[in-house]
Amino acid sequence: MSDGSKWPARRFDLNKEDIDLVIDRLLTSKRDAVEDVDGVVADILADVERRGDDAVIEFTRKFDQIELTPDALRIPAEHIERAADQCAPDDLAALNQAAARIEAYHQRQFPEDARFTDQAGVELGHRWTAIKSVGVYVPGGTASYPSSVLMNVIPAKIAGVDRIVMVVPTPGGQINPLVLAAAKRAGANEVYRIGGAQAIGALAFGTATIPQVDKIVGPGNAYVAAAKKQVFGKVGIDLIAGPSEIVVVADGNNDASWIAADLLSQAEHDVSSQSILITDDSRMAQDVETAVEAHLHTLDRAHIAGQSWTDFGAIVLVPNLDKAALLVDAIAPEHLEIALNDPDAFAEKVRNAGAIFLGRYTPEAIGDYVAGTNHVLPTARSARFASGLGVLDFMKRTSIVRCDADSLAMIGGAAVTLAEAEGFGAHALSISIRLNR
């Protein structure tokens, strides 16, 4: 820990400490906001399911201080059309560049159908079809994220979703016109000026004004996350996003100021975000800590980034990069930056990461906007079993099977045997009756 630092970092040294103990200390910190919102959210959802538009309008008045009628819930198409006129030309150009790159990347994810006939003569295969309707939640008010609009809507559009419904809160009636411009560019079909748990309820249950969707995606606060959990099963959801996180693996051949900026790029999201530096160079560890302190004196969101860095950030000194790879896999970070001479070789050793950024000139922030990859990624160690948002999240796979008399005769006997072993006589009969048994 640096003497006299306003924002001291937690320091660990695997030359002296057991790796399992370090992992435990890094991962057991409670980073999720401690908010008991489940009961409140359940009441809101039940009210929306029962009273529809009236409940949505009432909660919107209460939480967003805006008076609406059913006819005013949807933002008119002409309003969305005019939004681009209110945006700075440079902002629009950047938005269009990002959208084009996101489209190009996600178009390569589109899956292929398959059909084949196996040795028994059974025709097998699968086909992919798009989900019919999807709701996209976009944070609003002071937290305006046009990039999130692109990241959630574009993959759905490429998948072939017929109806893409966007909801965005407009506290006091205010909305960032760039968010609406992004909705038009990405291809959203409908946009409603509602947010919070009531918006999730409207999408999940449907109202007189807002027809039900089949799946809900997009980030939100604790109330939105709890609402998505509670409506799962009624509709599909993407994932429950926790606080943002980044791990940077860096050797001694880096500019410490660059690495410090990368760590803070995630720390400034939220006081519960986590930024971790793993390095095998003690001088780099010290230089990065010093650089973090210097950057924090200049950043507008230093009050957020500084608290995140002090409470949950860490610098871990490792004896070698093999230890670093073990540590990364245990953390399973949302974002992994590899600032090494041979980042590909290190990446081959890593199984668990939401997104990997290779080399010294690939800051994670480029992935948040214009790289083309999706920035909706698994957090809270869910990269061990989950992937980032993509085209397949808006599609479903249907299996296809066809037997003729000969192929059924080839495999049917085994199925009858298994059905009888499990005690399902009708299963066995439905096959054996065709085999003339």
The partner residues of 317 in beta bridges, in order of sequence, read: 13, 279
Residue from 323, 328, 186, 187 nearest 247 by CA: 328
Q: What is the Cα–Cα distance from 56 to 199, expressed in whole angstroms?
A: 7
Residue from 318, 314, 392, 379 nearest 353 by CA: 379
Q: Which of 103, 268, 293, 334 is catalytic?
A: 334
Catalytic annotation on 335?
Answer: yes
Helices vs. strands in the chain: H and E counts, helices first: 17, 14
Q: What is the Cα–Cα distance from 357 to 294, expressed in whole angstroms?
A: 24
Q: Which of 335, 337, 364, 375 is catalytic?
A: 335
Catalytic annotation on 334?
Answer: yes
Q: What is the Cα–Cα distance from 139 to 34, expressed in whole angstroms?
A: 20
Beta strands in 138-206 (DSSP E): 163-167, 190-192
**Residue 131 token pair:** 């989900």
Q: What is the Cα–Cα distance from 63 to 40, expressed in whole angstroms?
A: 13
SS3 content of the chain, % helix, strand, coil (to 5): 45, 15, 35
- Active site (catalytic) residues: 334-335
